[in-house]
């Protein structure tokens, strides 16, 4: 009986250690940068099992199970999510989020793309800060927002034109040129504008956008 009990204890310990090893292997599989789809957030998973939001420096240990589900031990507010294949879904903790945004989707990216996204995020934050400065006039705020939106539209027009040329096509869908691994890895709204509704057909009428605060932007391609 004693030998049987010892065998069961050793077997249980072996299974437990195997499970831990599987989690460590799973964690190592996901080391690297992860970019928010159509956004400017960058997550990084390090070899020691720490996940960091590179935009802010917030970090915490990430525990990944064999099925890809994970817990992220952020000091501010622990959260959870799931990783499989090349996708990372992170629970959206914003209280006022719409139901369809329960999770934020991230995709793998190399360091060059991640660095470009962080640089872009810094520029956008600077523009927003300038636009919201108490001493800035409404005209200055409008000019700052318009400049950032026109920059986005110019990127979109260039990417669409290149797609027409390479694919010998007269039209393109938004998600064919915007997103991780695409011509434009990310296209961040400046004032709540929606780029997905633009007519991307070749020779289409000038683009018009209305922002969340009511600004109307017109862009001739």
Structure tokens at 137: 């006039």
Q: What percent of the chain has pLDDT over 90?
A: 38
CATH for the 2-109 domain, from 2.40.128, 2.40.160, 2.40.50, 3.30.70: 2.40.128
pLDDT of amino acid 98: 62
Residue 181's contacts (CB-CB under 8 Å, 6 or more residues apart) are 107, 109
Residue 77 binned pLDDT confidence (cut-offs 50, 70, 90): confident
Residue 53 has pLDDT above 70, yes or no: yes
In three state form, how does the secondary structure of the chain look? CHHHHHHHHHHHHHHHHHHHHHHHHHHHHCCEEEEECCCCCEEEECCCCEEEECCCCEEEEEEECCCCEEEECCCCCCEEEEEECCEEEEECCCCCCCHHHCEEEEEEECHHHHHHHHHHHHHHHHHHHHHHCCCCCHHHHHHHHHHHHHHHHHHHHHHHHHHHHHHCCCCCCHHHHECCCCCECCCCCCCCCCHHHCCCCCCCCCEEEECCCCCEEEECC
How crowded is residue 217: how many other Cβ atoms within 10 Å of its Cβ? 19
Q: Are 88 and 105 in contact (CB under 8 A)?
A: yes
In the chain, where the domains are located: 2-109, 112-219
How crowded is residue 139: how many other Cβ atoms within 10 Å of its Cβ? 8
Residue 24 has pLDDT above 60, yes or no: no
Beta bridge partners of 219: 207
Residue 135 has pLDDT above 60, yes or no: no
Residue 26 has pLDDT above 60, yes or no: no
pLDDT of amino acid 44: 94
Count of alpha carbons within 13 angstroms of residue 44, beta-carbon side: 18
């Amino acid at each position: 009986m004693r030998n049987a009990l010892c065998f069961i204890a050793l077997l249980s310990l072996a299974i437990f250690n195997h499970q831990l090893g599987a989690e460590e292997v799973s964690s190592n599989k996901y080391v690297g940068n992860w970019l928010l789809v159509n956004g400017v957030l960058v997550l990084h998973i390090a070899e020691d099992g720490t996940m960091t939001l590179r935009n802010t420096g917030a970090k915490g240990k990430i525990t990944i199970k064999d099925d890809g589900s994970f817990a992220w031990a952020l000091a501010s507010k622990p959260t959870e999510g799931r990783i499989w294949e090349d996708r990372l879904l992170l629970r959206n903790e914003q209280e006022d989020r719409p139901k369809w945004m329960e999770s934020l989707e991230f995709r793998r990216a190399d360091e060059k793309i991640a660095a470009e996204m962080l640089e872009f995020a810094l520029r956008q934050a600077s523009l927003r800060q300038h636009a919201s400065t108490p001493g800035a006039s409404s005209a200055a705020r409008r000019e700052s927002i318009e400049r950032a939106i026109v920059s986005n539209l110019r990127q979109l027009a260039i990417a669409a034109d290149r797609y027409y040329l390479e694919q010998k096509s007269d039209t393109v869908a938004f998600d064919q040129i915007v997103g991780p691994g695409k011509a434009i890895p990310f296209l961040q709204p400046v004032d709540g504008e929606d780029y997905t509704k633009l007519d991307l057909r070749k020779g289409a009428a000038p683009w018009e956008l209305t922002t969340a605060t009511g600004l109307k932007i017109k862009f001739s391609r």
